[in-house]
């Protein structure tokens, strides 16, 4: 669906006076606190988040899936939907593909279509957690860690094929999330599983183009419920250090046991120069893949505090990061959910940018925990949404993307074009 840009101008006109009041009031406060609002706006505008190709339809659980209608039926329609998101927020300028859910049959045409929406391709994701219809070897008992070399070789070849697809699209990174693990004590030898997996990923690593990264994603459990080969950040870092400088860790916010201090994990990866990127989402219990910032917005702010502090520190030598969402929409409209997630990520980033860092470092040096919290929460309790809206408006996007999406009845238009039962590949 091609969006008529003049509709966005009309929307912004209609919302101008209230926005102007909010933005001017916030700018006055921030300038009063010594912040350079122009620079902050530039940083906010430059911050782009990749949209997962597998999260443009309705997600589900083993207990059910309730399709919302108007879902993209092909990679081309998925690119159109991401193009729509980017037109509304000028903050989602790339797609992260999952293979084989979204194989680019004609890469040239796909890159041209994406470029027509000002979109590129972030990391490509392999999939050795499902058996495809035409597959010779089963991944029931694992893939890159499997005891049978034939299964490992098949999984290695799949990852190499995924790299090839990525190269055709201009992607610069392969994400490996390995579901391999066990469900019962004694089922496998932990050390042997690790060694087989390392040997397999080393063979994949050898096929990476010079300017590529491999993002090693960890997850404590699901689909296996006793052990997972790459279960935690320490294991991901171990693999990255053994593989080489192209290997970096991928932090999926939902892949941590309850009450894990994720912001400290981010600080550790940054310190080692091994932070590769994020799969942003939110969760209450497990890998719930909920809207970013919908459950634990303060944790997201604390993570961005580590990122802003780390990335502005001369001590830290960390490669460019992949900022990606990984979500599943069981009840919300997928596009509204993604618009809210991008907004929540940029709110956390903007709040981290307005932390009074010299004062915080002084409070930390003097062990003044009370003052440190005052400084942190002054930033966190600052409503920065007018900054994001202004950055969007200056970039030609909508002041309020979700409101625009609804008042323009975009889902209704998609349903009339694609039908109420159209089905999107993915989770």
From the CB of 124, what's the least distance to Mn ion, in Å? 13
From the CB of 177, what's the least distance to ligand LRH, in Å? 4
Residues 325-364 within binding reach of ligand LRH (CB under 6 A): 326
Report d(CA 115, CA 254) in Å as an integer: 31
Residue from 71, 180, 252, 337 touching Mn ion (CB under 5 A): that is 252
Q: Which position's Cβ is nearest ligand LRH?
A: 177
**Residue 61: closest CA among 294, 324, 285, 329:** 329
From the CB of 213, what's the least distance to Mn ion, in Å? 16
From the CB of 152, what's the least distance to ligand LRH, in Å? 19
Binding pattern for the stretch 323-362 against Mn ion, x by CB under 5 A and - elsewhere: ---x------------------------------------
Residue 143 near residue 180, CB atoms below 8 Å: yes
From the CB of 212, what's the least distance to ligand LRH, in Å? 18
Residue from 279, 329, 346, 392 touching Mn ion (CB under 5 A): that is 279
Is 77 a binding residue for ligand LRH by CB under 6 A? The answer is: no
Report d(CA 319, CA 173) in Å as an integer: 12
Contacts of 1 (CB under 8 A, 6+ apart): 80, 81, 84, 410, 413, 414, 417
Binding pattern for the stretch 287-326 against ligand LRH, x by CB under 6 A and - elsewhere: x--------------------------------------x
- How many residues are present in the chain? 427
Report d(CA 351, CA 330) in Å as an integer: 29
Report d(CA 233, CA 106) in Å as an integer: 37
Is 78 a binding residue for ligand LRH by CB under 6 A? The answer is: no
Contacts of 309 (CB under 8 A, 6+ apart): 357
From the CB of 98, what's the least distance to ligand LRH, in Å? 6
Residue from 117, 139, 177, 405 touching ligand LRH (CB under 6 A): that is 177
Residue 30 near residue 37, CB atoms below 8 Å: yes
Which listed option, Mn ion, ligand LRH, none, makes contact with residue 349 (CB within 5 to 8 Å by class)?
none
From the CB of 287, what's the least distance to ligand LRH, in Å? 5
Q: Given the complex with ligand LRH, which of 80 and 252 has the nearer CB atom?
A: 252
Q: Given the complex with Mn ion, which of 60 and 69 has the nearer CB atom?
A: 60
Is 252 a binding residue for ligand LRH by CB under 6 A? The answer is: yes
Is 146 a binding residue for Mn ion by CB under 5 A? The answer is: no
Neighbours of 186 (CB within 10 A): 7
Q: Given the complex with ligand LRH, which of 102 and 217 has the nearer CB atom?
A: 217
Binding pattern for the stretch 108-147 against ligand LRH, x by CB under 6 A and - elsewhere: -----------------x----------------------
DSSP 317-354: --PPPEEEE---BSSS-HHHHHHHHHHHHHHHHHHHHT
Report d(CA 217, CA 178) in Å as an integer: 7
**Residue 414: closest CA among 67, 93, 9:** 67
- Burial degree of 132 (CB within 10 A; 0-12, 13-18, 19+): exposed
| Interaction site with ligand LRH (CB under 6 A) | 54, 125, 177, 217, 219, 252, 279, 287, 326, 427
Q: Which residues bind Mn ion (CB under 5 A)?
A: 252, 279, 326
């Amino acid at each position: 669906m091609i969006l008529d840009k003049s509709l966005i101008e009309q929307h912004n006109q209609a919302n101008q006076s209230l926005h102007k009041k909010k933005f001017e009031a916030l700018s006055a406060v921030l300038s009063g606190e010594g912040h350079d609002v122009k620079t902050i706006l530039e940083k906010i505008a430059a911050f782009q988040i990749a949209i997962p190709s597998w999260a443009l339809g309705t997600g589900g659980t083993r207990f059910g899936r309730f399709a919302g209608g108007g879902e993209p039926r092909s990679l081309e329609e998925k690119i159109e939907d991401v193009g729509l998101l980017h037109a509304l927020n000028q903050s989602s300028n790339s797609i992260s593909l999952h293979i084989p859910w979204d194989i680019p049959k004609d890469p040239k045409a796909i890159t041209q279509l994406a470029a027509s929406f000002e979109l590129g391709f972030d990391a490509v994701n392999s999939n050795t957690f499902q058996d495809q219809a035409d597959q010779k070897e089963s991944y029931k008992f694992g893939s890159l860690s499997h005891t049978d070399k034939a299964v490992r070789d098949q999984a290695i070849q799949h990852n190499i094929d995924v790299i090839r697809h990525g190269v055709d699209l201009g992607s610069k990174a392969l994400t490996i999330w390995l579901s391999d693990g066990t469900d019962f004590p004694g089922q496998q030898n932990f050390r042997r599983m690790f060694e087989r997996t390392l040997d397999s990923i080393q063979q994949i690593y050898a096929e990476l183009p010079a300017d590529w990264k491999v993002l090693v994603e960890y997850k404590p459990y699901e689909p296996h419920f006793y052990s997972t080969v790459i279960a935690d950040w320490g294991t991901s870092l171990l693999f990255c250090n053994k593989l080489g400088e192209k290997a970096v860790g991928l932090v999926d916010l939902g892949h941590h046991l309850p009450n894990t201090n994720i912001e400290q994990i981010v600080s550790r990866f940054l310190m080692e120069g091994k932070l590769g990127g994020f799969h942003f989402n939110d969760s209450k219990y497990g890998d719930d893949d909920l809207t970013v910032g919908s459950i634990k917005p303060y944790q997201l702010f604390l993570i961005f505090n580590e990122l802003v502090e780390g990335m502005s520190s001369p001590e830290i030598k960390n490669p460019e990061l992949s900022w990606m969402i990984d979500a599943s929409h069981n009840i919300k409209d997928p596009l509204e959910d993604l618009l809210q997630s991008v907004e929540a990520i940029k709110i956390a980033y903007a709040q981290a940018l307005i932390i009074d860092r010299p004062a915080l470092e002084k409070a930390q040096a003097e062990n003044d925990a009370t003052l440190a919290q005052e400084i942190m929460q002054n930033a966190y309790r600052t409503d920065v949404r007018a900054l994001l809206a202004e950055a969007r408006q200056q970039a030609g996007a909508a002041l309020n993307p979700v409101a625009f999406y609804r008042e323009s009845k975009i889902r209704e238009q998609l349903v009339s074009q694609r039908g109420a039962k159209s089905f999107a590949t993915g989770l």
